[in-house]
Structure 1
Amino acid sequence: MAALGSGLGISSLFTYNIGLFVPDLSQEIGLTRGQFGMAFFAATIAMAVALPVVGKIVDRHGARRPTVIGSTMLVVGFLFLGSVTQSVLSYFVLTAALGLFAVGSAPISYMRAVSVTFDRARGLALGLTQMGIGVSAALVPPVIAAVIAGSGWRWGYYALAGFAALGLVPALIGLRGRSAMPVPSGPEGPPLLSLPLFRHQLAAFVVMALAFAGFLPHFVPMLRDAGLSSSQAAAFAALIGIFVILSRIAIGWLADHVHAPWVAGAVCLLAAGGCLALLFGGAPLAPVAAAAFGCAMGAEADLVGFLTSRYFGTAVFGRAYALQYAGFMLAAGASPAWIGLLFDRTGSYAAALIVTSGLLGIAAILFVLMPRYQLSERPKDGDILSVQEEGSLP
């Protein structure tokens, strides 16, 4: 149910399908690629602002109600995009509003529920939960594309609203019982952002996202510049999605058996290797780069949730995960911009590949320097897992 709910929320239905409407909206309302990018980034900022609020609500009042409200708002938002969009301004406002009000349908509630329910196999459970997003990203876009081609872009949004409505089922049925209830807690302790360990983890994920996330939308144009046909480039891009799905399970399993920050550092180095493969090997090594980027993309959401639960416990998981993931989202939203600007300045992706490799190396160092945590001891309700770090929550 957690995987289904994650796959039918805003993180998958919005992120992986919104680009399908750009050609039709360009003809219908004159939407440019730059305006589309700004609208998408505005929605990302809105989600990042709202996520900590949702996280606090989930911690204090349980997971079910905010998820149901968020899924309902996602349905309403897609319906409005299909029926009300008449201009670039209306598109911009509706897209930003969708990110703000439908953020409750993000995986945060399911990640928290899984973290509360599972202990020793928590990494694998979180990986399977996030795999729902990858499966949705593979299956839903072809359906929406067919609807747009056959009935027009407005019906494409209505179809997305239908998928979002299905997301109410796991929210209503799956988020019941202890896993969906607030976790009893004592005094809240110091603000999370005041903790050195929290800022350390946040910095590691932000640098990681700022480095590699921007190459996902630039991957196909990069391969086209290298001489590949559109179909060949698209096939390699699809390989990224396959490795995203596979890595969700593999990284989750590894996190249960190996110190997770070491896994994160290895993933960063793997992605850096993919960048260097493209830089020095070009198109023939595109499959290597696709596999590396897919593993990195699949690892990030799993490891954010896993490390947050291990270092800060379940009592504040909603708030801690929301702040960590919001920072990751903002960095991921800004990443394509700096890569595009560097390409415009230099005329190629070579400089961006070098900078990305360096940033991923920094992220790997940050992860490796994170302290040990208790691997398989479940804390009592309200306790925070202790770590060997001064300034961590009591």
Structure 2
Amino acid sequence: MGESRVSYLGELRRNVRPLAAASLGVGTSLPLFAYTNSIFAPHLIKAFGWSRAEFALIGITMLIMLPFLPIIGRWTDRFGVRRVALIGSLLILPGFIGYSLMGGNLYAYFALFTFVLIIGSMTGTLVYTRVVAENFTQARGLALTIVNCAPAALAAPLLPLLNMLILTIGWRLSYVLLGALCCLCGLVAVALVPKTSGQVIDREAASEPVAETVATGTSRDDYRLILRSGLFWLILVATFLCLLQTQLHSSQMNLMLIDQGLTTQGAANIASIYVLGTLVGRVACGLALDRFSTPLVTFFSMIIPAIGFVILGTSFDAFTVIAVAMFLVGLSVGAETDIMPFIVARYFKMRIYNTTLGLHMIAAFLASAVGALGVSYTLARYDSFEPFLFVIAGSIVIGSTLFLLMPKARDYPKIG
């Protein structure tokens, strides 16, 4: 009875430690790398003479990543956040040291990129959002917002500084320093994770035994249960269509902005405006998810970047126009990182939370890989991002509309 009386903000105050752990862990892991990769991209291309079309193929490394996502998710359900995140935190630095030792072989870069993707996923939203889902009910959307704002909050000042650092001391040493920062922060985050993580009862189902929050069934049975759900497939397809855009705001963002006529520093400055958009999008989406219909909030949050990509596809290339377009793209990118964990916690039981989230992240990474092929093909054939921008805008509209088909009732029985 007492727990149900905890106020909205009181729930945040009560769970400062798990919130800090998840925020620091996610803030210095895979979501941050999505920002920093775009800063390194033009410098690597210049140093090694890679073409933009060749570099765009980096996105297909997501395909190699796909089998690892459900494994990492399942491990987290079975062994807990602390163990999985500790391994990821310790192994991330060797990956960045590997970056610093590259000799220009594109395939070596692809291999290192894949390694960092896999290890980064062990300290990213796939793992750490469980801490939020376990400890928050009333303010879950806001808590996810705070966690997912951490990478953007760090990236906003870091991106221009990182570019200046690369120009000053070189990209090799910059990679090492970035890796050391992420490793140190990751270890602190692991220390902050409550030791009870993985044993906390889902407060929306407080009457259920503790076992209902821990993956006690066989993997085969749980996967069968999830894959037989029509709702799971609806969310998966909608997610895929909405996230085909991923490469345009990660490894390809600076190149796309330079294609608009900006310098590398101008592109880095626009990137900071984009990051501001992600912060605004996350806060607005998180607050809305706690108060309004999940399908409606998801629809409006995911459809916004279609406008930004259409603007970028036009001939209007003034700095202000590009800044507005990227701000709109950022709004949705910020929202999507809140939405996916929230939807999984909303429609699936805690005992299969990470298993389900891992499967949904397959759609996200697969979309990124397919999008990378689309970018590479477009650049090879047209030497411009423009045609791909309009295709992406259309896919976002379709995917966003599919989210409206999700159940609206708050008492919809959870799967699992």
Q: Is 265-274 or 192-201 further displaced after alignment?
A: 265-274
8 A contact 1:61–1:181 mirrored in 2 = no
Match of 1:328 in 2: 364
Name the residue aligned to 1:244: 278
Alignment of 1:49 with 2:67, yes or no, is yes
- Which amino acid in 2 is paired with 1:358? G
- Shift in alpha-carbon separation, 1:180–1:158, aligned structure 2, 3 A: farther
Residues in 2 aligned to 1:266 and 1:21: alpha-carbon distance in whole angstroms: 32
Distance, in Å, in 1 between the alignment partners of 2:148 and 2:72 is 19
- Within a 5 Å distance, the mapping from 1:66-145 to structure 2 comes to 66-83=84-101, 85-88=102-105, 89-145=107-163
CA distance in 1, matches of 2:392, 2:24: 33
Distance (whole Å) between structure 1 residues aligned to residue 93 and residue 85 of structure 2 = 12
**1:47 Cα offset (Å):** 3.3
Q: 2:186 aligns with which of 165, 168, 174?
A: 168
Q: CA separation of 1:386/1:270 partners in 2, compared to 1, >3 Å: closer, same or farther?
A: same
Deviations 1:149-196 (A, max 9, x none): 333332112102211222333433221233354833564553422311
Amino acid at match of 1:262: L
Deviates more, 1:151-160 or 1:68-77: 151-160
Structure 1 residues 271, 38: CA separation in 2 closer, same or farther (over 3 Å shift)?
closer
In structure 2, the residue matched to 1:203 is 237
299-308 or 26-35, which deviates more = 26-35
The percentage of aligned residue pairs carrying the same residue is 26
Which residue is equivalent to 1:5?
Answer: 25
Gaps of 5+ in 2: 1-19, 201-212
Task: Pick closer, same or farther for the CA change 1:143–1:287 going to 2, 3 Å.
Answer: closer
Find the aligned partners of 2:26 and 2:117 in 1 and give their Cα distance: 15
From the superposition, tell whether residues 172 and 222 of structure 1 become closer, same or farther in structure 2 (CA, over 3 Å): closer
**1:272-291 correspondence runs (5 A):** 272-278=306-312, 282-283=316-317, 285-291=321-327
What residue is the counterpart of 2:338 in the other structure?
A: 302
Residue 151 (structure 1) aligned with residue 169 (structure 2): yes
Match of 2:290 in 1: 256
Contact 1:22/1:31 (CA < 8 Å) preserved in 2?
A: no
Can you give the 5+ residue segments of structure 1 that lack an aligned partner in the other structure? 376-384, 388-392
Cα distance in structure 2, aligned partners of 1:220 and 1:158: 21
Could you tell me which residue of structure 1 aligns to residue 16 of structure 2?
A: none
Distance in 2 between the 1:31 and 1:271 partners?
A: 29
CA contact (8 A) 1:311 1:386 kept: yes
> Secondary structure of the equivalent of 1:105?
coil
1:184 corresponds in structure 2 to 214
C-alpha deviations, 1:263-295, integer Å up to 9, x for none?
121123322233444556834643442232111
TM-score, with length taken from structure 2 = 0.80
Matched, 1:318 2:354: yes
Task: Please list the CA deviations of residues 83-107 of structure 1 after superposition, one character each: whole Å capped at 9, or x if unmatched.
Answer: 4x33414333333233234431222
How many pairs does the alignment contain?
376
Matched, 1:386 2:413: yes
Q: Which residue of 2 aligns with 1:381?
A: none
Distance (Å, rounded) in 1 between the aligned partners of 2:354 and 2:80: 10
Letter in structure 1 aligned against 2:329:
F
Matches of residues 311-390 of structure 1 in structure 2 within 5 Å? 311-339=347-375, 341-342=377-378, 345=381, 351-374=387-410, 386=413
Structure-1 separation of matches of 2:316 and 2:45: 33
Looking at structure 1, the residues matched to 378 and 363 of structure 2 have their Cα atoms a distance apart, in angstroms, of 23
Question: Is the 1:147–1:159 contact (alpha carbons within 8 Å) kept by the matching residues of 2?
Answer: no
Structure 2 counterpart of 1:7, one-letter code: G
Query: What CA deviation, in whole Å up to 9, does each residue of 1:363-386 have, x standing for no partner?
Result: 1220111112536xxxxxxxxx71
Please report the TM-score for the alignment, with normalisation by the length of structure 1. 0.84
Contact 2:84–2:122 (CA under 8 A) maintained in structure 1: yes
The equivalent residue for 1:59 is 77
- Give the counterpart letter for 2:30 in structure 1: I
Deviation at 1:65, TM superposition (A): 0.5
What secondary structure does 1:167 align onto?
helix
Q: Which residue in the other structure is 1:16 paired with? A: 35
In 1, the alpha carbon distance for the partners of 2:272 and 2:45 equals: 25
Provide the rounded CA distance (Å) in 1 between the counterparts of 2:185 and 2:386: 42
